[in-house]
Amino acid sequence: MSCLIKRLIAPSAFILGLLAASSAARADFRLCNNASNRVSVSISYTDGQTWVTEGWWNLKASACETLLRGPLAAQFYYVYAMDERGGEWRGKAYMCTRDREFRIEGRENCLVRGYDRTGFFEIDTGKDAKNWTVQLTDANQPAR
């Protein structure tokens, strides 16, 4: 092969590799806000050893956001969301939260540790799921 052909093939192969990598399916935990108002979202999950709760993501109506990047590491995840008009998506799994951006380890003794105690709803992704998307809608908001 001539030197000129080698110089043309090597960059082309590199660019094709980048395109293939970028078009591969991503494995993430995503949340889409299909409600009529902007929402603030928090997520809780276990890494197998400890519970971690993180927040807040602010999503306008019709927007989606990746909350966790990479393949799912657990079957169960927990989400709490509230909209700008006081509506909530909540459940019976209590986690620690706070008013401003946070990452909290552990879910016990929230009030004693200076956090709020907030009810999250459970997401069962199944045993083999590698990615998941939660769809928030006005209809699945629990009644007050």
Domains of the chain: 27-136 (2.60.40)
How far apart (Å, rounded) are the C-alpha atoms in residues 33 and 61? Answer: 6
How much is the pTM? 0.78
Q: Which two tokens stand for residue 68?
A: 């966790």
Query: Is beta strand 93-97 parallel, antiparallel or unpaired with respect to 102-105?
Result: unpaired
Q: What is the structure's pLDDT at 15?
A: 35
Q: What is the structure's pLDDT at 117?
A: 97
Q: Phi and psi (nearest 5°) for 135?
A: -110, 110
Q: What is the structure's pLDDT at 18?
A: 32
Q: What is the structure's pLDDT at 48?
A: 84
- Which pLDDT tens digits describe the chain residue by residue (144 residues)? 444 333 333 333 333 333 333 334 567 999 999 999 999 999 999 988 999 999 999 999 999 999 999 988 889 999 999 998 889 999 999 999 999 999 999 999 999 999 999 999 999 999 888 889 999 998 766 654
Query: Is beta strand 132-136 parallel, antiparallel or unpaired with respect to 76-83?
Result: unpaired
Q: Which two tokens stand for residue 136?
A: 């928030």
